[in-house]
Structure 1
Amino acid sequence: MSRVLVIESSARQQGSVSRQLTEQFIARWKQAHPSDDVMVRDLAAQPVPHLDADLLGGWMKPADQQSEAEQAALARSNLLTEELLAADVLVLAAPMYNFGIPSTLKSWLDHVLRAGVTFKYTETGPQGLLSGKRAFVLTARGGIYAGGNLDQQEPYLRQALGFVGIHDVTFIHAEGLNMGAEFMEKGLAQAQAQLAQVA
């Protein structure tokens, strides 16, 4: 049995293409892997605060010197990190906002990319500690960006995931969603076909 951690980051609960893709992915995954445990964390319903002084204090100060706010921030980071550590498969649903990922997803990454926990520094540079995990990234984009220099999502997420040792990453892009009915239909169909193959 594998554990699948799904991270939703769309600000919309209704009409979200990335959420539609996530639902389809989960349904197909459960059909193919009925014994797997799937957990969904919705960053719109339960936002993760931006990295701040309380979180830094929680990470860096001895326990007996932490304020209540720092202890709470550390506990939140520990919870999110433990969910990631326990997962065998990570699914990130990431609509494109202003050429990048939603700020909620960036905040989640800021809580789980932790020195000594998900990566470590060595004499030869940083080393990821999460090797052996797989990741799928489901994106929804109004235009067509894959492979172009305006696509800041895929390179950033590949770097962030690779930094913690997750190198087996599959991207599924639903593109052209705001370019008219024909482009939207084609973009969704391509994403759904790819999703069916990998899930």
Structure 2
Amino acid sequence: MATLLHIDSSLQPAGVSASRAVTDAFRRAWLEQHPDGTVVHRDLAASPVPHLTGEAYTAESTDPARHTPGEAAAFAERLVLIEELERADAVVIGAPMYNYTIPSTLKAWLDSVILFGRTAGETPSAKGTPVTVVASRGGSYAPGTPRESFEYVRNYLAAVLTEALGLDVDFIVPELTMAPHNPALAPFLHLFEESRARALDEAASKAKALADRHAA
């Protein structure tokens, strides 16, 4: 039975969040292809993962038999997240841009699942797992735009998910999501609508393509 790991990190609720709309479209399309599949949903805004502590960090290089109670508890929390990633046949991540980078809650999740010698290193345990990242942003940071050099979401996630975790990463990028709310961006409303429609279509097509790939 196929398993999808669905991660949202937007502070905005469903119905408002651009990234949640697209990850939900991906999830629905994926379930149409896998009606008996399992979805593990992590809403990092509603239930944040603890930021990495000293005990969680030192525990990874300490013999479990010598863990302090604090190290054991912190490491056990990390293992839950790591095992969710390892069991997933596909992953979809909502990663809105906040202040030019990813939400701190998503960074906390990444810090927990990156474990050298297991999920990271020479033989990453989830290597090759397909990951679709919905990298939404309020403006445009596309190549050739004035804000291109401020794009630290896609660049960062492409590096860490591919290089550290060995995942097979693809992106969907809804842009200008603040156009309906910011008068200064009103002239770009049509571009936002085109970007949103394109992102929703991409979510459905990518989910179906992954389902076909899993069935092959």
1:36-115 equivalences under 5 Å are 36-115=37-116
**Structure 2 unmatched runs, 5+:** 179-184, 208-216
2:154 alignment partner AA: E
Offset from partner CA, 1:41-97 (integer Å, 9 cap, x none): 111111112112121132223334333222111010010000001111111111111
Contact kept, 8 Å, 2:30 with 2:204, in 1: the verdict is: no
Counterpart Cα distance in 2 of 1:32 and 1:61: 43
Which residue in 2 is equivalent to 1:20? 21
Further displaced range: 153-162 or 54-63: 54-63
Contact kept, 8 Å, 2:94 with 2:134, in 1: the verdict is: yes
Compare the two structures and name the one with the higher strand fraction. Answer: 1
Which residue in 1 is equivalent to 2:2? 2
Which residue in 1 is equivalent to 2:201? 193
After superposition, the CA RMSD in angstroms is 1.6
What count of residue pairs does the alignment treat as equivalent?
A: 193
Contact kept, 8 Å, 2:86 with 2:125, in 1: the verdict is: no
Task: State which of 172, 180, 190 in structure 2 corresponds to 1:182.
Answer: 190
Q: Secondary structure at the match of 1:71?
A: helix
For the pair 1:116 / 2:109, whether they are aligned, the reply is no
Which residue in 2 is equivalent to 1:123? none
Offset from partner CA, 1:149-194 (integer Å, 9 cap, x none): 321111111111112111x221001101123332321221121122
Change (3 A) 1:82 1:129: closer
Counterpart Cα distance in 1 of 2:109 and 2:142: 24
Identity of aligned residues (%): 38
Counterpart Cα distance in 2 of 1:132 and 1:188: 28
Which residue in 1 is equivalent to 2:211? none
2:9 alignment partner AA: S
2:28 alignment partner AA: A
1:146 alignment partner AA: A
For the pair 1:138 / 2:134, whether they are aligned, the reply is yes
Change (3 A) 1:69 1:28: same
